[in-house]
Amino acid sequence: MGTKYTMLIDLDHCSGCHACSVACKAEHQVPTGQFRHTVQYVEAGAFPQVSRKFIPTLCQHCTDTPCIKVCAVGAIEKRDSGAIVINQERCVGSGQCVDACPYGAIYMDPVSMTAAKCDFCESRVAEGELPACAATCPTDAIQFGFEDDPHIRESLAKGGYTRWEPEPTAPRVLYKGLGETQQKLKRINRS
Amino acid sequence: MAIQQIPTMCLNCSTVCGMIAKVENGRILKLEGNPRDPNSRGKLCAKGQAAINMVEDPDRILHPMKRIGPRGSGKWERISWDQAIQDIADRLRALRQEERPEEMVLLYGRDRTNGFLERFTDAFGTPNKLGHRGLCSLNKRMAIRAVIGDTDWETPDFVNSQFILNFGSNFYEAHQGHVGMVTRVAEAKRRGAYLVTFDVRLSNTAAKSNEWFPIFPGTDGLVALAIGHVILRDGLQNTEFIREWTNATLDEWKAHYRPYTPEWAERESGVPAAKIEEIAHAFAQAAPRATTITNRGAHAHVNGFHNEWAILCLNALVGSIGKEGGWCYVPGDVNRSAPQPGPLPPKPKVKTELSHPSALPFVNQIYPRAASTTIFPYISEGKSKVDTLFSYYINAPMSWPQGPTFVRDTLLNEELIPFHVAIDSFYSETVEVADYVLPDATFLEKWDLDARNSHELRPYVGLRQPVVQPPGECRDIREILITLAKAIDEEMAQYFDFEDAECFIEKWAEAVPGGLEHLRKVGIWVDENQRAAYVPYLQDTGYSISDSRIEVDADGVARLGDTVIGKVWGHQIVKGFATVDRKFQFKLPQLGELSSGVPIYPTYLPVTHHQHLADDEYILTTFKWNVHTQSRTANQTWLTEIVGDNPCWIHPRTAERMGIQEGMEFKITAQNSELMVKPMITEAIHPKVLAISASFGHWQYGRTAQGRGYNPNPLIQSVMDPVGGGQAWNDTVVRIELM
């Protein structure tokens, strides 16, 4: 068991521009109306003390994985890196995982009729590239790497990172500045 | 077949970021940022990446068409390019033969041919190459050009800034240059820079700011003047800069600012006086690492020029102009850095009311051919006779004030506009009212050399090249104009002696080291030998003060014969600002000469019709989302699935008072027009303001765009700032009808 991937999303710098979501859309040819990645907006406060937070949401790559538990054919795999990946060959399209995911991160692809979701851009990362969302982020609000990479350690040392956990799934995606806003987050795809 | 990586430049908005297209078997797989672009540095926004949808839009126009039913009826027949060119050339030739070339008007939206359209209109002999600048940023550009002369667009050194004062720019979402700005502001913020935003609604830029002030529309200039008042009252100004580099004495500055108290500003703008004091001190303290940034929130008003001017003066007051972390600029026209291949046609001598409206003498002096608000009213009133209208990359019925109503009616009127040719890739609301339609290549299928003001403050040039071939019979605009010019007559043809667009670009790119061949591989060339253009006004001219041929006047202005060469500064002759006395203009005496009684200092001119609003009267503002442009992105699925509607932003108190509930349409009226809209009830807007975004309300533009949301423009009258000439988008007083 080597070191694990983590994604750090700094909400102090995310500006809600959706570049990440569209990069994901193009990279994975995600069908219209379904999302591997989407940015949610949450407004709070009363005029003129109003705030708006932007929260990029995607598969949280949980340590404790409701999707794996529910898949009867063992099509969802946890890589050594901690990335959760759907094996398209093995998926029979039962849709169990779609409902089981507390984040709504999984959708059924209307062509292949199999489940699909963020795989931490496995094919890009294999080529030494960053995941599409992180690569294009204009404010560098999305960082990706192994937990013991210097840039990840440095960011984590500054503190403030917490998890989005409607259920205790121990995600590998961490947010800075999420706080109470997590109560307002919605499922990424409708179930 | 291997995946090709082809560098090109985006044009899904006017920021023109460098991009790399991943292409396989003639199909674009993905668009990514080009790390060589000095502005975007490898990043690409949502719009840029979604441009694939534009190329693959199933409703593109694929071949030339000629109208067969009444104008606007939607009845067309397909014709050949040869016939289209011949018919149009016959019409145009006659105008030249009859010596009335000025009756040809070329209306363009996004001319990134950087000179080719003008080559065509110049060669033809018409001054009427008219754009949308007057709807976009004219008041701002007028102020910058009048005050410093060197350019019309600032390039604040955000990355080194400590205090950024934003009046009405939404650069986190739109704004020309936004990607390069956002990356640098984010970097500066990580190092502790403070961002303050004045805006009538909580834009995403306001949301990312340390403080947001929901300012009352059209009062930005007053707040800026009050900040200046505090700076001068408390002695926080940069006296040396004022003395050496502005065209007024410190006493003149002080006397002018004295009445503009923070208390007055608070009464009009709603920004607390105590906050104005605080901001003034923080801004001055951070100087020279302090800068302003502005856009339509500040200037799209009848008092827009003065608002911009007042804001610009804050940078002069604290001496941050041209300084590291301050209000910087790139001198000259960045798009003219590579000379155009000759021979170039002479400039037409004739002027028309469309090119030089006599109502706008100051605009004609500083920024001719840039007014837009006047175009359709003047055509309608017969102030300028039009025979042939070319519409290129523009969608006036959609995006002009009164676009869907008055503008569309004018375009439908065959007496006012007898012949209308539209060049477009999509079946736009302009194409709907054309007589001939020529299918344009999209920006991913065409050639340009392009650039923007560099945030690295040094020149660069990028290449836009076809990453896929245009579909059907679509053609690059340059090829359309080359063919047309050759078909019109010999005299025009001599300026268009190019085989095709690529040949033209190849010749043009000879001015760039490595030429076209190198650009095709890397996309961007940056002049690494140039130093960053800090304090360009202090640049040595190379002339010696002891040169006996040089005359220096009492103001220190140095002349060689009749030519002003610079200004004496210490023992040098430096460039100074490109103004008459080589100084930053705190006063513009020519304003008083052009029109008596007009203020010659930056002044707060209250918007008259905002002074006594009734309870049911509100001020309408428009804006852009981060995933859309004004009128050209609603057909792009990946964007429209993120934002595909534009309900009207309305404050909960306002909604409650007017009996408006979520999900239920309500009626907004203005003068003779009305609009039914859905509300978006939000705390994030000033209670006296309603906001409806642009981008929606298409009645054409293909199946993805059509029928979504609302077009606010019927409510917005053609009204402009009489000084700056810019459209007053954000002044419209509207009524809500009680439910």
**Residue in A closest to B211 by C-alpha:** A49
The set of residues, in sequence order, having a beta carbon less than 8 Å from that of B389 and lying 6+ positions away, is: B105, B106, B107, B411, B417, B419, B420, B421
> Cβ of A18 and B684 within 8 Å?
no
E strands, B635-725, where? 648-650, 666-670, 673-677, 679-681, 689-693
What is the per-residue pLDDT for B595?
A: 80
> Measured between beta carbons, which residues in chain B are less than 8 angstroms from residue A46?
683
Tell me the percentage of chain B whose pLDDT exceeds 70. Answer: 99
Nearest CA in chain A to B47: A19
CB-nearest to B32 from A18, A38, A136 is A136
Handedness of CA B704, B707, B710, B716 (dihedral sign): positive
Partners of A21 on chain B (C-beta within 8 Å) are 46, 642
Cα→Cα distances A43→A9, A47, B203, B656, Å: 18, 11, 12, 19
DSSP, collapsed to helix, strand or coil, labels residue A90 as coil
CATH of B154-317, one of 3.30.1340.30, 3.40.228.10, 3.40.250.10, 3.40.50.970: 3.40.228.10
Q: What's the CATH fold of domain A5-64+120-184?
A: Alpha-Beta Plaits (3.30.70)
Per-residue pLDDT, A144: 98
Q: State whether residue A13 sits within 8 Å of chain B by CB.
A: yes
Average pLDDT over residues B528-550: 93
Of A39-48, B194-203, B331-340, B482-491, least confident by mean pLDDT is B331-340
pLDDT of residue B196: 98
CA-nearest residue to A134 within chain B is B43
The predicted structure's pLDDT at residue A2: 72
Which of chain A's residues have a Cβ under 8 Å away from the Cβ of B202? 43, 50, 52
Question: Average pLDDT over chain A, rounded to whole?
Answer: 97
pTM above 0.90, yes or no: yes
Helix axes B273-286, B220-233, angle to 10 degrees: 60
What type of residue sits at position B582? Answer: R
Percentage of the residues of chain B whose pLDDT score is greater than 90: 95
The closest of B42, B43, B56 to B638, measured between CA atoms, is: B56
Least confident window among B288-292, B348-352, B551-555? B551-555
Using the beta-carbon criterion (under 8 Å), do B651 and A26 form an inter-chain contact? no
Report the residue of chain A nearest B271, measured CA to CA. A48
Rounded average pLDDT over B343-352? 97
Mean pLDDT of B365-377: 96
Closest CA to A8 of A168, A134, A191, A150: A134
Give the pLDDT band of residue A190 (cuts 50, 70, 90).
confident
Q: Kindly state the DSSP code that residue B720 receives in the 8-state scheme.
A: B
Candidates B30, B212, B687; nearest CB to A27: B30
Tell me: pLDDT of B598 over 90.
no
**pLDDT bucket at B683, cuts 50 / 70 / 90:** very high
- Residue of chain A with shortest Cα separation from B44: A136
Report whether B432 contacts B419 (CB < 8 A): no
User: From its phi and psi, is residue B177 left (phi > 0), alpha (psi between -120 and 50) or beta?
Assistant: left
B609-736: CATH topology: Barwin-like endoglucanases (2.40.40)
* Pairwise CA distance, residues B437 & B390, whole Å: 10
Break chain B into its structural domains and give their ranges.
Answer: 65-136+336-442+473-512, 154-317, 536-594, 609-736
Question: Is domain B65-136+336-442+473-512 classified as CATH 3.40.50.740?
Answer: yes
pLDDT digits (tens, 9 = 90+) for B496-517: 999 999 999 999 999 999 999 9
Does A52 sit within 8 Å of B50, measured CB to CB?
A: no
- Whole-number Å distance between alpha carbons of B185 and B182: 5
Cα of A52 to nearest chain B Cα, Å: 6
What pLDDT score was predicted for residue A1? 52
Q: Are B204 and A17 in contact (CB < 8 Å)? A: yes
Q: How confident is the model at residue B597 (pLDDT cuts 50, 70, 90)?
A: confident
Q: Which of A27, A28, A47 to mutate: most B Cβ within 10 Å?
A: A47
Mean pLDDT, chain B, whole residue set: 96
Of B186, B182, B163, residue with least CA distance to B171: B182
Task: Characterize B309-334 residue by residue with b for buried, 16 or more Cβ atoms within 10 angstroms of its Cβ, and e for exposed.
Answer: bbbbbbbbbbbbbbbbbbbbbbbeeb
**Interface check B691 vs A, CB under 8 A:** no
For residue A88, the Cα-to-chain-centroid distance in whole angstroms is 19
Task: Categorize the per-residue pLDDT at B672 as very low, low, confident or very high, splitting at 50, 70 and 90.
Answer: confident
Overall average pLDDT of the B32-45 stretch: 98
Residue B739 has pLDDT above 90, yes or no: no
Say whether A16 and B204 touch across the interface (CB within 8 A).
yes
Of B182, B684, B687, Cβ closest to residue A50: B684
Span B183-194, pLDDT tens digits: 999 999 999 999
Give the separation between CA A3 and CA A149, rounded to whole angstroms.
Answer: 9
Looking at the complex, does the CB of residue A25 fall below 8 Å from at least one CB of chain B? yes
What is the four-CA torsion angle of B375, B376, B381, B385, rounded to 10 degrees? 60
Q: Could you tell me the residue ranges of all domains in chain A?
A: 5-64+120-184
pLDDT in tens, B476-500: 999 999 999 999 999 999 999 999 9
| Inter-chain CB proximity A33 and B641 less than 8 Å | yes
Contact of B192 with chain A, judged by CB distance below 8 Å, is answered with no
B21 interface with A at CB cutoff 8 Å: no
| Helix ranges, B149-219 (H) | 178-190, 204-207
Specify the pLDDT at position A127: 96
Instruction: Kindly determine whether residue A25 and residue B213, on different chains, have CB atoms separated by under 8 Å.
Output: no
Chain B residues lying within 8 Å of A16, measured CB to CB: 204, 207, 626
Q: Is the peptide bond before A48 cis (omega within 30 degrees of 0)?
A: yes
Contacts of A31 in chain B (CB under 8 A): none
* R_g over Cα of chain A: 16
Minimal CA separation from A67 to chain B, in Å: 26
A27 chain-B contacts, CB cut-off 8 A: 30
Question: How far is it, in rounded angstroms, from Cα B293 to Cα B298?
Answer: 10
Among the partner-chain residues A22, A52, A135, the one whose CB lies closest to the CB of B202 is A52
- Chain A residues with CB inside 8 Å of B639's CB? 22
| Position B334 pLDDT exceeds 80 | no
Question: Is B43 in contact with A17 (Cβ distance < 8 A)?
Answer: no
Q: What confidence tens digit (pLDDT) does each residue in B300-327 have?
A: 999 999 999 999 999 999 999 999 999 9
pLDDT over 70 at A191, yes or no? no
pLDDT-derived band of residue B415, with 50, 70 and 90 as boundaries? very high
Interface check for B49 against chain A (CB to CB < 8 A): the answer is yes
Whether omega for the bond prior to residue B288 falls within 30 degrees of 0, making it cis, is yes
**Interface with chain A: mutation pick from B29, B32, B49, B653, highest number of A CBs within 10 Å:** B49
Q: What residues form DSSP beta bridges with B90? A: none
Measured N-to-C along each axis, helices B262-269 and B220-233 cross at an angle, to the nearest 10 degrees, of: 160
- Token pair of B383 as six digits: 């102030």
Whether residue A156 has pLDDT greater than 70? yes
Contact A139 B186 (CB under 8 A): yes
